[in-house]
Amino acid sequence: MARAGTSAARATIDNMTEAAKTEESVTENHEHVKPELPKDVRVRFCPSPTGIPHVGMVRTALFNWSEARHTGGTFVFRIEDTDAQRDSEESFNQIIEALQWLGIDWDEGVGVGGPDGPYRQSERGEIYENVAQKLLEAGYAYESFSTSEEIEARNEAAGRPKAFGYDGYDRNLTEEQKAAFRAEGRKPALRIRMPDEDITFNDLIRGDITFKAGSVPDYVIVRPNGDPLYTLTNPVDDALMRINVVLRGEDLLSSTPRQIVLYRYLMELGIAKEMPLFGHLPYVMGQGNKKLSKRDPESNLFLHREHGFIKEGLLNYLALLGWSIAPDRDIFSMDEMVEKFDVRDVKANPARFDIDKAISINAEHIRMLEPLDFLERSVPYLFRDGVVSAESWDALTDREREILTAAAPLVQPRVRLLGEVAGMVGSLLSDADYIAPEADAKKQLKASAGEVLDAAIAALDAVPESEWKTDNLHETLNKALVEDGGYKPRLAFGPVRVAMSGRRVSPPLFESMEIVGKPVSIARLRNLREHLPEIQG
């Protein structure tokens, strides 16, 4: 039967929705004294392998990693894979791949080992069973035989919404009542006894947060079939792995009072050493003031990599989702982040994922790469897009390496993503004597394009191959088209650019012509001139 205290507390919030109950029963105080961090910080990252790694997950990993590295603490990585229906080995491998690509390393955990393994929950069943039994024997947990249908029916009969939640009915069942349920073939779940008191903690980011007495019902830690739930496995793992700073998403804030109560019980049983500090990271928002969903393309980590984000740029941007290194400074390295990061400086307000800003920051980091590093990272994208013969720098032909080396200083300052490199260098690597213009490039071919191409061909034909150099080409075409022809630079050089690359935006024109060489350059100009009538329609 329900205890009197809980019933009284709930009577004041009858007929309220779950969302309203949460809003009414939680208070936050953002003006607060920041808690001191432990001397030996131990943080953890514990994702569930249920899909492709998303940016919110990576942001959580990054902030935990940064706190550990900043304080000289320990970063533990474990996998919460007890949901057999949703978990997959493919997702597990993708999480590992994501962390390794980004350079987020860990001190203890999956693949590394440590004193508190195993580090996959699916391999820790006996541990959870043992702890659950101790909680039951101590009276901190109890057997609950109520079905969801019975709970809803009791709520309805009491004039509460059906979905109000568990009412404490099984708290004080007699042994005879339990035996009767078992005789019916029922198996009990295990629930934690929540105390009839406010639960307050000092969040590292949000300040003092209080959950009112009665706002959190007794909750299930073990299903009737014996499967342990997150509500048991997560705090137990944290306790046994001596995690003393828990940094996680705001969406888990509502589960914190449950964890605190369970931690108290685990401390009483000698299983936990101390209560950890909690910090709840702000939501990452997507379009239209909605939380960024796993289904949103912006959330897909590997899609960003496929487009050509480099790890430095993506990590830099993700770090800005709730934190900043200094006022009016957006660009920094991970070493700089580690030096400055303190989770207590993270803002509580939701952070918005702005893909344009992310790309802009990535472009800055691409520009900071050493030229050879830039080229080596670009080659897999060039191979994917069919413009080079191999997917590694060393496996390219000598000619490909020569052209790319010459192109690097022209292209690197102009691309924002490595996926854009192929479009910029494709025309330089190709020996094609005609490149069909892209749709937006055709718009550059004004009525004067034919005359411009004729004049350019005549002028360039006279340039010896030995003098086919950037400065000379610039001087020759400028004289023929701008000074003598009277064309404005945009009208003068636009058709030549389109002939050379087929694109509206390309590497610098005269440097490109030098790289491609005279025969191919002249051929491209002549062939565009020949196709001009059909292009202009």
Got the DSSP string for 395-453?
A: GS-HHHHHHHHHHHHHHTTT-SSGGGHHHHHHHHH---S--PPPHHHHTT--TTHHHHH
Confidence class for position 130, pLDDT limits 50, 70, 90: very high
Mean pLDDT of the region 11-40: 57
Report pLDDT for 246.
Answer: 98
Specify the fold of 441-536: Arc Repressor Mutant, subunit A (1.10.10)
Mean pLDDT of the region 353-380: 98
Report pLDDT for 407.
Answer: 97
CATH number of 35-109+282-368: 3.40.50.620
pLDDT digits (tens, 9 = 90+) for 186-209: 999 999 999 999 999 999 999 999
SS3 state of residue 203: strand
Mean pLDDT of the region 19-24: 39
Mean pLDDT of the region 433-442: 95
Query: How many Cα atoms within 13 Å fall on the side-chain side of residue 269?
Result: 23
Q: Is the pLDDT of residue 181 over 60?
A: yes
What is the spatial distance between Cα 437 and Cα 500, in angstroms, rounded to a whole number? 9
Q: Is the pLDDT of residue 19 over 50?
A: no
**Model pTM score:** 0.90
Report pLDDT for 27.
Answer: 63
Q: Is the pLDDT of residue 30 over 80?
A: no
Report pLDDT for 134.
Answer: 98
Task: Estimate the crossing angle of helix 509-516 against helix 489-501, to 10 degrees.
Answer: 30
Give the range among 161-175, 268-282, 310-324 with minimum mean pLDDT: 161-175
Q: Which sequence positions are flagged as catalytic?
A: 294
* 23 burial type by CB count under 10 A (0-12 exposed, 13-18 middle, 19+ buried): exposed
Domain boundaries, the chain: 35-109+282-368, 370-423, 441-536
Report pLDDT for 309.
Answer: 98
* 54 burial type by CB count under 10 A (0-12 exposed, 13-18 middle, 19+ buried): buried
Report pLDDT for 22.
Answer: 42
Helix (H) or strand (E) holding 213: none
Mean pLDDT of the region 72-99: 93
Confidence class for position 312, pLDDT limits 50, 70, 90: very high
Report pLDDT for 2.
Answer: 36
E strand segments, 309-380 = 351-352
Is 273 annotated in a binding site? The answer is: no
Specify the fold of 370-423: Helicase, Ruva Protein; domain 3 (1.10.8)
Report pLDDT for 533.
Answer: 93
Give the range among 284-298, 309-323, 468-482 with minimum mean pLDDT: 284-298
Confidence class for position 296, pLDDT limits 50, 70, 90: confident
The length of the chain, given as a count of residues: 537
Give the range among 74-78, 82-86, 264-268 with minimum mean pLDDT: 82-86
What is the spatial distance between Cα 424 and Cα 497, in angstroms, rounded to a whole number? 12
Task: Please say whether the beta carbons of 453 and 495 come within 8 A.
Answer: yes
Report pLDDT for 404.
Answer: 98
Rg (the chain; Cα; Å): 32
Write b or e for each residue in 399-429: b if 16 or more Cβ atoms lie within 10 A of its Cβ, otherwise e: ebbebbebbbebbbebbbbbbbbbbbbbbbb
Which two three-digit tokens encode residue 423?
A: 């479009």
Task: Please say whether the beta carbons of 510 and 470 come within 8 A.
Answer: yes
Q: Is the pLDDT of residue 8 over 80?
A: no
Report pLDDT for 25.
Answer: 59
What is the spatial distance between Cα 149 and Cα 72, in angstroms, rounded to a whole number? 51
Report pLDDT for 163.
Answer: 87
Confidence class for position 11, pLDDT limits 50, 70, 90: very low
Mean pLDDT of the region 352-360: 96
The Cα angle at residue 364 between residues 363 and 369, in degrees rounded to 5: 95
Confidence class for position 4, pLDDT limits 50, 70, 90: very low
Q: Is the pLDDT of residue 157 over 90?
A: yes
In the block, which residue shows the tokens 């393994």? Answer: 117
Q: Is the pLDDT of residue 244 over 90?
A: yes
Confidence class for position 17, pLDDT limits 50, 70, 90: very low
Report pLDDT for 521.
Answer: 98
What is the spatial distance between Cα 362 and Cα 98, in angstroms, rounded to a whole number? 17
Between 3 and 99, the higher pLDDT residue: 99
Mean pLDDT of the region 81-92: 87
Query: What is the number of helices (H) and of strands (E) in the chain?
Result: 22, 13
* Helical spans, DSSP H, in 72-203: 89-102, 125-137, 148-157, 175-183
Report pLDDT for 20.
Answer: 34
Report pLDDT for 105.
Answer: 98
Which two three-digit tokens encode residue 191?
A: 């629930």
